[in-house]
Structures are given as C-alpha cells and as structure tokens.
Amino acid sequence: MRELQEIWADIAAIDETLAGLYQKRIQLTKEAAEKPPADREAFDFSQVEAFLFQQAKVVFQGEEGAYSQQAMREFFGRQTENFHVDTWREAMDAIAAGTADYAVLPIENSSAGIVSENFDLLVEYDHYIIGEQIIKTNHCLLGMKEAVHSDITDVYSHPQALMQCSRYLDANGRWEKHSVKNTAGAAKKVKEDQKKNKAAIASGVAAEIYGLKILAEGIENNTSNSTRFIIVSGKKAFRADAAKISICFELPHKSGSLYQALSHFIYNNLNMNKIESRPIQGRTWEYRFFIDLEGNLSDVNVQCALRGLQKETERLKVLGNY
C-alpha cells in the first residue's frame, strides 16, 4: 500500500500540471477572441460614447409620485418628456410601439429581492438595458389630513412595499393590508376615498402630490433599503465606459451543465457578482439563469467568455452592458 506522503506528492504534481494547462488555456482564449467570430448574434452591440437624451421620451410604471418617477428624474433629469402607464408590460410595449424611447423598471430591492416579472419581460422583449439608477426607498405611512395613527384600519401599497415594511405592519397587527399596483397609486386611492381610516405606504413626495399627511416615516425594515431600477431601450448599444454586463441563458438539463457554463468566467478572469434563476414556462423544474458580471463587451476576455457560453448554453441573450 502506498504511503500517504507519496499520494500527496502525486496530487501536487497533478495540480502543477493543471495550473500550467489553465495558463495555456487563458492564452489560447485571448488569441481566439482576436479572431472574427462566425456568429456574433449574442453580443453584436454598437458602442457609443454617450446616449443622447435631449429629445428622448421616457415611460415609467405607476402614478405621479412613484419611486419609478424619482428614478427617472435622477437618471434623465426633471425636464425629460415622460408619461406613465399602469403595468411594466405596458412600459415595454411602449418601447416596441415607438411611443417611448426608454422605460424605467424596478429590477430588485435590497430587502425584498428581485422583481421577477421584469426579469421575465427582459427575455420576452427585444429590449436592452442601457443604464441603472439606485433609489433610497424611504417609506412613509400616509393618511388624510385629519387622520391620526389610531384611526387607521386599512393600509394600501404595492406588495413589495408591504414586504419591506412587514415589521412595522406586524406591530400593528389589527390593520388590514391591501395590495395595489404601485405605492403612488395607493396614495392616490387614499386621497380619492377620503376616509380617515385608510392609509398608504408610499414616499414623502407622494404625500406632497396628493395632499396627504405623513403619519409615520422611515417604516421600512431596513434603514438602508434601496431599489435598483434599470433603464431599458430598444437600442442594442452600450457606452464605451460601461462596466457591468447582464446576460441570461438556459442550460441542458443534465449534471454539471451550470458548472461548465460558469467555468468560462473563471477561465477568462471575470468577476460574477449576481446570479438568479427563474422557472422556464412549459418545462417543469427547469430554469433560466440571469447573471451580472463585471466587464465591457469590447474586452477580449468578455468576448471569449461569451463565445464559450454560446457553445455550452441554450438561448443565450446579452441583456445589456451599462
């Protein structure tokens, strides 16, 4: 029987061989990336120095005072021509129809997680992410001017906002909670109903717009609660200084397929900073993966990784570089 020390020596020798092969593979992938690919469909984006927003029309979901509107103003400026729709799908339809150049959509919250519907819409529509905006989400309890805290029996807000304020709501367990399409819409409803027992969870801006009283503020579970919004366009383009890439893909339903796919980030020295999965409709227990990674589509190692992923995955889509 072999001695343990001898076995470990053999393992060390194998590790050294693998390390050499790994370095050789990196060099070969760099050489391959410099060759024109036969199929660039997955990442054939146009590079621009900057996007021109002066004449742009922007759509956001929700009522006046919605957090999406705040994100739009932060990203595009307060003078940008804009309009709002009831649903995220309608915002994507507006881009497809040409009535809007850009849409502002929430994609994830630091407390409640992803907005799953918008992940699915990114796959369904031929639109792309060109930017992002993070908004500090400071939730307030809004009521009629004459209302006091003890009057409240019913609270209205978006499901995500209700989740983000769950501790506060649990502490007031007798309140009935009602889900509506968006936070600003909840404030609008309270204003229209004119009943002092009704309250909304929305922003301080919504309180000003609808003439409501702030009964409590900072009621979110997480005081650093923030929402990340994406800026979506029909343009397949990216800025020269873009530093984040979002992609999605499906995989063969077999052992090791995800491991093989992710290895292309390792081989090309790319940092992956997010991964999510969503069920694939019509394929029970199979999933589509969404990944954010650092890099620019003009980078050699990024191009090489994407080509490798094309071989390993099904329906690879670059969702944007921003």
Strand, helix or coil for residue 282: coil
Dihedral sign computed on CA atoms, order 73, 77, 78, 82: negative
289 included as an active-site residue:
no
For 117-141, give the DSSP string: HHHHHHHHSS-EEEEEEEEE---EE
Chain-centroid distance, C-alpha 74: 17
Catalytic annotation, pick one of 60, 229, 238, 290: 229
Distance between the two ends of the chain, CA-based, in angstroms? 58
User: Of residues 227, 265, 290, 313, which has the active-site annotation?
Assistant: 227
DSSP per residue, 129-190 = EEEEEEEE---EEEE-TT--GGG--EEEE-HHHHHHTHHHHHHTTTSEEEE-S-HHHHHHHH
Active-site residue flag, 227 = yes
Active site residues: 227, 229
